């Protein structure tokens, strides 16, 4: 018997060593970017603390793109660093000079502010809905029905998801409630039927394609209908107060109609080309689904209860938004599921994806809101207006739209984006002679939904699909760039000429 030696150890250790080196580089990169920006001279007109906050924010975004650590760890690190050094990163000299101002207390309040955001809790509720669908097997039943009739082709499943969102969109003023709370819990049961598992190479069989179609459909329908996204109503009020231009439900729908129809009809096919599922046609799965449905038998007590609860939530989201916050409606349903035994407390505390996404998105909301708090967004709008002085009105309008769209990289909430940037963009445009303001306003407001596609945190449902385990970080950022470019090009090449013709 030969004695064991360590002669081959260097060869065996080489891949591990290379992997460690790459991970260390990825860990160092966000820090390097942040430090380089911190050392860059502060731009004129901007407070040093605002520029320093922006430097850390960019470092966090770089970390989220390359993900050397889980996204929640990156986000939490950014929040803690800013809170610890809030004297130089978060608070103005005037605040610090106030003897009544308690810096440690205020820094902590800011650090945890994202955890009180209603969208964050609505996302958490959506994960709990999905847990209910999974535990009762009601989601499996609905998925089997879809597969039975449309499951022969992956492409037809993509269209089924898209049209389901389209039908709900005009009546659900929250895309997180609509897509995250209603669509996602159902379609999460589809991939396993094809042997496609999350956080696994098999995800590309069909799960990755279906999840990408679902989030893309949510973004398109959010732009298509005034009543499909909560910030749309806010945008409407801002346009009226700043410009004096009234946009009706019908005007909004007509303005986006040609582009919306084209995107709805082509998007599942585009996703099929850019992110193709490995399973394209399967004759056996629909037959198997039919047999599995027969095995499931009649609806169980818990399935019936879940159906009642989910329908109640949908009705509250559609008709009762004036009386109950959508996030509270979702939490009410979670409580009802716990009291009736549809879920138990262990199902809640053991749901790692839900808590991971909750922490990740809450920190991003705080960081993104902080950009507005320190005055960076206001400075950016002012500087942008000065750069456009003397430029052709049509060119200026296009540049403002592109800037408005791309600056969504800085926001973890469409509501925050609308609140912080839309007034500045409207004011800048109104000061430039020759801009067709009705068309410009319609272009701006109808872009709010589709811009959510560009990042894993760009709109409410994004963290839900990103956290599903079917959309790896690099794929999400790559596809977000591709589809974001398609949507922006569509706005300029199809939406703009159509709006000029009609309005």
Q: Is residue 381 in a domain?
A: yes
Residues 334 and 481 in one domain: yes
82 domain residue, yes or no: yes
End-to-end C-alpha distance for the chain, whole angstroms: 88
Q: Are 128 and 343 in contact (CB under 8 A)?
A: yes
Report d(CA 451, CA 499) in Å as an integer. Answer: 19
Question: Could you tell me if 207 and 409 are in contact, meaning their C-beta atoms sit under 8 angstroms apart?
Answer: no
Eight-class DSSP state of 153: B
Is residue 67 located within the same domain as residue 90?
yes
Instruction: Determine the pLDDT at residue 334.
Output: 95
Q: Averaged over 278-302, what is the pLDDT?
A: 89
Scan for tokens 């407001």, then name that residue: 445
pLDDT of residue 190 exceeding 70: yes
> What is the pLDDT at residue 15?
62
Residue 446 falls inside a structural domain: yes
Q: Is the pLDDT of residue 150 over 70?
A: yes
User: Does pLDDT of 224 surpass 60?
Assistant: yes
Quote the Cα angle for 285-291-297, to 5°.
135
Q: Supply the angle between the helices 437-450 and 230-242 in degrees, to the nearest 10.
A: 160
Q: For residues 197 and 284, state if they share a domain.
A: yes
Give ∠ CA 450-488-163 in degrees, rounded to 5. Answer: 40
Split at pLDDT 50, 70, 90, the class of 16 is: low
Residues 329, 285: one domain? Answer: yes
- Together in a domain, 167 and 263: yes
- pLDDT average, residue stretch 332-361: 93
Cα distances (Å, whole numbers) of residue 104 to 128, 179, 365, 428 = 34, 39, 20, 38
Work out the pLDDT band at 219, boundaries 50, 70, 90: very high
Domain check: are 89 and 128 in the same one? no
Assess whether 252 and 125 both reside in one domain.
yes
* pLDDT at 11 (0 to 100): 55
The mean pLDDT value for 435-456 works out to 96
Looking at per-residue pLDDT, the higher value among 255 and 144 belongs to 255
Residue-wise pLDDT for 377-428, tens only, equals: 888 877 877 777 778 888 999 999 999 999 999 898 898 899 888 988 988 8
Does the pLDDT value for residue 8 go beyond 70? no
Q: Is it the case that residue 126 has pLDDT exceeding 90?
A: no
- The neighbouring-strand residues paired with 153 are 281
Q: Is residue 367 part of a domain?
A: no
**pLDDT mean over 168-182:** 87
- What are the tens digits of pLDDT across the range 295-309? 888 999 999 999 999
Q: Are residues 193 and 242 in the same domain?
A: yes
184/207 same-domain check = yes
Q: How many domains would you assign to the chain?
A: 2
Indicate the residue among 60, 89, 115 that finishes a domain. 115
Which pLDDT score is estimated for 23? 79
- Per-residue pLDDT at 9: 54
Is the dihedral angle over the CA atoms 409, 412, 415, 420 positive or is it negative?
A: negative
Average pLDDT over residues 459-478: 95
pLDDT value of residue 381: 75
State whether 104 and 135 are in the same domain: no
For residue 33, pLDDT beyond 90: yes
At 431 the three-state DSSP class reads: coil
Residue-level pLDDT at 3: 47
Q: Where is the domain boundary, 74, 91, 115?
A: 115
End-of-domain residue from the set 47, 81, 115: 115
Average pLDDT over residues 177-204: 92
Q: Based on the fold, state whether residues 82 and 194 are members of the same structural domain.
A: no
Q: Are residues 410 and 469 in the same domain?
A: yes
- Comparing 200-209, 315-324, 451-460, the range with the smallest average pLDDT is 315-324
Instruction: Summarize the confidence of residues 264-271 as an average pLDDT.
Output: 97
* pTM assigned to the model: 0.83
Percentage of the chain beyond pLDDT 90 is 58
Domain that holds residue 219: 119-343+375-502
Number of CB atoms found within 10 A of residue 47's CB: 15
């Amino acid at each position: 018997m030969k004695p064991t030696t360590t002669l081959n150890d260097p060869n065996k250790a080489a891949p591990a060593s290379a992997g460690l080196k790459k991970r260390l580089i990825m860990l160092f990169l966000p820090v390097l970017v942040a430090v380089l920006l911190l050392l860059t001279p502060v731009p004129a007109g901007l407070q040093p603390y605002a520029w320093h906050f922006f430097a850390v924010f960019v470092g966090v975004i770089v970390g989220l793109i390359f993900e050397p650590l889980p996204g929640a760890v990156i986000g939490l690190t950014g929040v803690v660093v800013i809170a610890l050094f809030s004297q130089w990163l978060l608070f103005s000299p005037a605040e610090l000079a106030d003897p009544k101002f308690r810096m440690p207390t205020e820094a902590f309040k800011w650090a945890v502010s994202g955890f009180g955001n209603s969208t964050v809790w609505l996302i958490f509720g959506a994960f709990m809905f999905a847990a209910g669908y999974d535990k009762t097997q009601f989601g499996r039943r609905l998925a089997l029905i879809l597969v039975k009739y449309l499951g022969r082709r992956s492409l037809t499943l993509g269209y089924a998801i898209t049209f389901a969102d389209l039908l709900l969109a005009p009546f659900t003023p929250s895309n997180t409630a609509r897509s995250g709370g209603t669509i996602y819990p159902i379609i999460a049961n589809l991939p396993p039927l094809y042997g496609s598992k999350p956080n696994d190479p098999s995800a590309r069989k069909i799960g990755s394609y279906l999840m990408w179609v679902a989030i893309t459909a949510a973004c398109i329908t959010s732009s298509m209908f005034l009543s499909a996204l909560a910030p749309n109503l806010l945008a409407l009020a801002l346009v009226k107060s700043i410009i004096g231009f009234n946009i009706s439900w019908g005007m909004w729908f007509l303005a986006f109609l040609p582009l919306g129809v084209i995107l709805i009809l082509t998007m599942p096919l585009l996703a099929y080309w850019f992110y193709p599922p490995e399973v394209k046609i399967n004759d056996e799965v629909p037959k198997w689904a039919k047999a599995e449905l027969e095995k499931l038998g009649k609806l169980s007590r818990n399935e019936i209860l879940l159906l009642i609860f989910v329908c109640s939530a949908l009705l509250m989201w559609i008709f009762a938004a004036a009386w109950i916050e959508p996030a509270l409606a979702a939490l009410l349903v979670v409580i009802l599921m716990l009291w009736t035994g549809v879920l138990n407390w262990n199902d809640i505390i053991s749901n790692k994806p839900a808590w991971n996404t909750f922490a990740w998105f809450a920190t991003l909301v705080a960081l993104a809101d902080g950009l507005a708090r320190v005055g960076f967004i206001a400075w950016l709008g002012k500087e942008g207006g000065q750069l456009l002085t003397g430029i052709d009105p049509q060119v200026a309008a296009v540049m403002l739209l592109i800037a408005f769209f791309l600056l969504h990289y800085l926001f973890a909430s469409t509501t925050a984006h609308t609140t912080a940037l839309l007034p500045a963009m409207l004011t800048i445009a109104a000061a430039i002679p020759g801009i067709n303001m009705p068309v410009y306003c319609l272009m701006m407001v109808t872009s709010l939904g589709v811009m959510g596609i560009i990042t894993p945190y760009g709109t409410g449902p994004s963290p839900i699909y990103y956290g599903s385990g079917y959309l790896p970080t690099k794929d999400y950022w790559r596809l977000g760039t591709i589809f974001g470019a398609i949507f922006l090009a569509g706005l300029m090449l199809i939406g703009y000429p159509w709006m000029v013709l009609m309005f």
